[in-house]
Amino acid sequence: MFQQLNLAVWSWIEALRAAGRGRLWLPFLFFFAFQLVLVVLLVSFAHPLLSWFLVPIYRMAYGAAATHYPMNLVVLGPIFAGSNLFIGVLGWALALATAMVLFVAVFQGGKGSTDDALRRGRIAYGKVLLTQIPLTIGIAFLAFGVPRFIESGESAMAVRLERYGTVLAGIILEALFVTAPLFVLVEGRRVGESLRRGLSFAVSNAPALLLLVGIPALLHLPLGFVNRRWRDIIEKGSPELLIVVVLADVLLYVLTNFLLVGGVTRYYLARRS
């Protein structure tokens, strides 16, 4: 176990050493732009071009109050998280494939051509997307299915256990599927075999992958804590701060995804050789 953990930390160090190569950031900046557009659309949900589609979604998910200020900003975080889960995976699959190809090239001593990485990412896009579908379904169940079992009248301790238990379960789920795209991109495996090999790799390298996935995920918890203090934010007359919290989380994902993908890719290559 300690050997795996040491290798995981070394993998992070190697990823951070490569951070000076600007092209490695391009896939993450692409996804950042993708998410920014999604935030802008959600903030502008009342615009005539969008209201016919988004207003019913707001009402169905959080009631009529969610379509009025400032409650529309209160639900922005959850609405964005749900939208990003189902829509974001479409952009994330391309960003992930391209980023992994670039990291593999750099870690193996090459320069890592952005055009070549994007070409290979587009070719493998469908397969990489399919490797992310089970993870997306699992996270969706944790986010929307599990809370249905926790009644609003239950104790604060039960709510906290549900909240942080869901975070832990999400980390475990991501650790199980995080290397599957590498078996597509590096070894040219089919989707089913990549998922099977990825699960096997995850089980045999559980301590390291839980660390590589868990630390970046935990870095987002403070912003979630701020978002849950929405009543205090509104009482202080600063509901727009909730938009800033969502945008800060989106920006943080640029850094944590770089650390996650770079670290996991370096670890996979080290264990594979």
Q: What's the token pair of residue 19?
A: 């951070």
Q: Which residues 6+ apart lie within 8 Å of 68 measured at CB?
A: none
**Tokens coding 132:** 């992310």
Cα 195 from Cα 198, distance rounded (Å): 5
Q: What is the pTM of this model?
A: 0.91
pLDDT exceeds cutoff 70 at 159:
no
* DSSP symbol at 150: S
| Residue in 179, 189, 188 with CA at minimum distance from that of residue 267 | 179
Q: What angle do CA 203, 204, 207 make, to 5 degrees?
A: 80
Dump pLDDT digits (tens) for 200-248.
999 999 999 999 999 999 999 888 877 777 677 776 767 888 888 899 9
- For the beta carbon of residue 119, count every other beta carbon within 10 angstroms: 13
User: What type of residue sits at position 48?
Assistant: P
Residue 183: strand, helix, or coil? helix
Residue type, 208: A
Instruction: Say how far apart CA 112 and CA 98 lie, in whole Å.
Output: 10
- Spatial separation of the C-alpha atoms in residues 250 and 168, rounded to whole Å: 20
Closest Cα to residue 234, out of 53, 14, 46, 74?
A: 74
* Tokens representing residue 11 in the block: 């993998």
Q: Is residue 151 classed as helix, strand or coil in its secondary structure?
A: coil
Give the count of alpha carbons within 13 A of 213, CB side only.
Answer: 20
Structure confidence by residue, pLDDT tens digits, 49-65: 888 988 998 998 888 88
- The predicted pLDDT at position 272 comes to 82
Helices (DSSP H) in the chain: which residue ranges? 2-17, 26-43, 48-62, 71-74, 76-86, 88-107, 114-123, 125-140, 156-177, 180-185, 191-204, 206-218, 221-227, 230-235, 241-272
Q: What is the pLDDT of residue 154?
A: 58
pLDDT digits (tens, 9 = 90+) for 84-133: 888 889 999 999 999 999 999 999 987 768 888 899 999 999 999 999 99
Instruction: Pick the closest to residue 174 from 216, 204, 235, 222 (CA basis).
Output: 216
Q: Mean pLDDT throughout 181-187? A: 95
Is residue 1 a contact partner of residue 245, using CB atoms and an 8 Å limit? Answer: no
Tokens of 244: 């800033």
pLDDT score for 236: 72
Query: CA gyration radius for the chain?
Result: 20
